[in-house]
Amino acid sequence: MKKYATKNLTHLDIICSSGTCSDMNHWIKENEPTFDINDTSWQKDMNYNLHLIKSGDIKVLNDYEIIAIDSEHDKRLEALVYIIGHKGKYIFYGTDLLNLSSKAWNIIQNYKLDLVVLDQTYGKGYNQGGHLDSGQVIEIINEMRVRKIINENTYVYATHISHEGNDIHENLEFHSNLNKYHIAYDGLEIKL
């Protein structure tokens, strides 16, 4: 193992599926052939811990609760989205999301969310796969309201915007406001 000039690294907890872990390992090995993400000596030297999780699992780390949910984005990677809880507040981080299955809804149903972040890669009707379009975002938000997962005090934002069927930010924000959500932007800070 090479020794890197890594001193006083901030500790990192990596929480992911085994498929995502394997994919990360593959990409890092392209630059460092001896790397093995599962190797405890690498973990010690690089100051990280690896926590493998699958859809439906709940991992508690310090004051955080991490709930894994299948995103259907990439079955090969076992891609996940997450609900993250901290001190009684819950956020749903749903980027690289293709669909919420009935199993996913059964998990989400157990939480009252303070913040929702959804993938709106495509404009309505422009979906090229792997991600949500604006019509699907609206459907998910409406379903969350019907199920009382979110309410009028929940912050709801779309992000992961591409140019495929999406307009400029001002127009996206105008149309999203009609459906009671917002479009994220660089530098956005939300205080819960």
Question: Which pLDDT does position 6 carry in this prediction?
Answer: 63
Burial 148-171 (b: 16+ CB within 10 A, else e): ebbeeebbbbbbbbeeebbeeeee
Per cent of the chain over pLDDT 70 is 96
- Within 13 Å, how many C-alpha atoms sit on residue 123's CB side? 11
Nearest partner of 140 among 110, 160, 120, 163, judged by Cα: 120
Question: Which pLDDT does position 77 carry in this prediction?
Answer: 83
* Distance in angstroms (rounded) separating the CA atoms of residues 21 and 38: 9
| pLDDT digit string, tens, across residues 170-189 | 999 999 999 999 999 999 99
Question: Which pLDDT does position 5 carry in this prediction?
Answer: 55
Farthest CA pair distance, the chain: 55
The three-class DSSP label of residue 184 is: coil
Question: Which pLDDT does position 7 carry in this prediction?
Answer: 67
Question: Which pLDDT does position 163 carry in this prediction?
Answer: 81
Averaged pLDDT score across all residues of the chain? 92
- The yes-or-no verdict on residue 162 having pLDDT over 80 is yes
Rounded average pLDDT over 29-55 = 93
Cβ(126)–Cβ(86) below 8 Å: no
Stated pTM of the model: 0.90
CB neighbours of residue 99 within 10 Å: 12
Per cent of the chain over pLDDT 90 is 75
Rounded average pLDDT over 50-73 = 96
CATH, range 55-183: 3.60.15.10
Rounded average pLDDT over 42-51 = 92
How does residue 4 score in pLDDT terms, banded at 50, 70 and 90? low
| pLDDT digit string, tens, across residues 90-141 | 999 999 998 899 999 999 999 999 999 999 988 888 877 788 999 999 999 9
Domain positions in the chain: 9-52, 55-183
Question: Which pLDDT does position 81 carry in this prediction?
Answer: 96
